[in-house]
Structure 1
């Protein structure tokens, strides 16, 4: 922008940002030095810093981070759902490099089971993201003292899923050390499924800080997991019914 007018929309500007379109008032001609040092490196650093901060918050204080985001403190956070998709991609990439995921270990299966397996493989990101509405519904029905609407529980569920995906990615990465430390890594790897399974406990405990006593949290989490399991089974049965046309499922 030059003078007192926005170069993007030509609105009058009296501050660092255009009041109409939000573009910076110091926009200038693109030159090589500024492009490399500012537009490229500065932009990448800000994106990376937002990603790292969001991942750190999703691990260290996931529930409180979600509550902060819901309350309006959002500028430091990278979009949780975009980040989930990004980490899903990295996790799938890692799994392709790990020998236990190679097709040489696959067994011969019939056409029906191959169709089902291919569906889950081709729609992995949507299947993983479908965990979010299930967690959100469970949280909305059970943790009423948070006084959040269903959409706000989607944020907590998104943070919970982000932690689950990151832990999965770390677990797959650790698998590469099997050949050097097989005994030790066996114990380490056994921990990860429990971490992934119980991660929502940490998220909602952190989010509901001081609102429930231990007994209140305990029975709520029991109901939470039972309801989540029910929703998952209903969704799975519905998907399999559509894929098989209502026929008996045979994985042999």
Structure 2
């Protein structure tokens, strides 16, 4: 281990553990096998998983409070919300793909190939651009909350952080439901109606999660009645925007 008076990254003079100019640790090591395995690999993986898993847990259990902490400046322990969102969307699409494959194999062989020929243009477009479309709802959430919950005195970018963290929690819950939906392929009396259960439970849970956490974030600034009214308008605006979005998308795809 070598302690230097100059940062090896930017050559700025330093007198503390971290360079004030670029943030690099001034305790540098010669790279050898032991250091490479014990520090660079294991240390890096541990910190990556710790931040990632911590952010997933916070997004699923208390996304509103986590977002407010992040906005207030407590950011080092959180993994990038939007990168993590992309990762979870990818996992969700992968699970949905294998669900279709297993379903096709067990119940109706050949249905995927047949559907691929006569598939509706809108459905095909939604499947092709699913990641972009899912992320398109973030601006809707952020703009709606920025307009309706002005008393919190947050800017639009900070409303994007709140929307992103709550949206991340929605993805986590949806991912859990997607994984549990594979239980219906275990043919028992308990799993015969599990598909119908998930068809109802999943959207209902996601909607309640959204409403509850927006209520928790902004309720300190409003009375109970005011929050009920504002949450109602927030939900109605989102539903109306979703319908308009689908209409415009359908029109665009048919061009």
Query: Do both share a fold (TM > 0.5)?
Result: yes
Q: Indicate if the aligned counterparts of 1:136 and 1:154 stay in contact, CA closer than 8 A.
A: yes
Q: Which residue of 2 aligns with 1:233?
A: 243
Q: Which moved more, 1:149-158 or 1:16-25?
A: 16-25
Over 3 Å counting, the alpha-carbon distance change for 1:147 and 1:69 in structure 2 is same
Over 3 Å counting, the alpha-carbon distance change for 1:65 and 1:28 in structure 2 is same
Deviations 1:162-217 (A, max 9, x none): 01111111001111222253057457624222111222212212212432333222
TM normalised by structure 1 equals: 0.88
CA RMSD after TM alignment: 2.2
User: Separation in 2 of the partners of 1:49 and 1:135?
Assistant: 28
Alignment partner of 1:161 is 2:167: yes
Alignment partner of 1:79 is 2:80: yes
Q: Which residue of 1 aligns with 2:138?
A: 132
Q: Indicate if the aligned counterparts of 2:60 and 2:173 stay in contact, CA closer than 8 A.
A: no
Higher relative contact order (CA 8 A, sep 6+): 1
Gaps of 5+ in 2: none
Alignment partner of 1:172 is 2:178: yes
Q: Indicate if the aligned counterparts of 1:16 and 1:26 stay in contact, CA closer than 8 A.
A: yes
User: Separation in 1 of the partners of 2:6 and 2:170?
Assistant: 47
Written as runs of structure 1 = structure 2, the 5 A alignment for 1:198-237 is 198-237=208-247
Alignment partner of 1:29 is 2:39: no
TM normalised by structure 2 equals: 0.87
Alignment partner of 1:41 is 2:42: yes
Alignment partner of 1:68 is 2:42: no
Q: Indicate if the aligned counterparts of 1:63 and 1:156 stay in contact, CA closer than 8 A.
A: yes
Q: Which residue of 2 aligns with 1:249?
A: none
Deviations 1:71-99 (A, max 9, x none): 11111111111110010111111112223
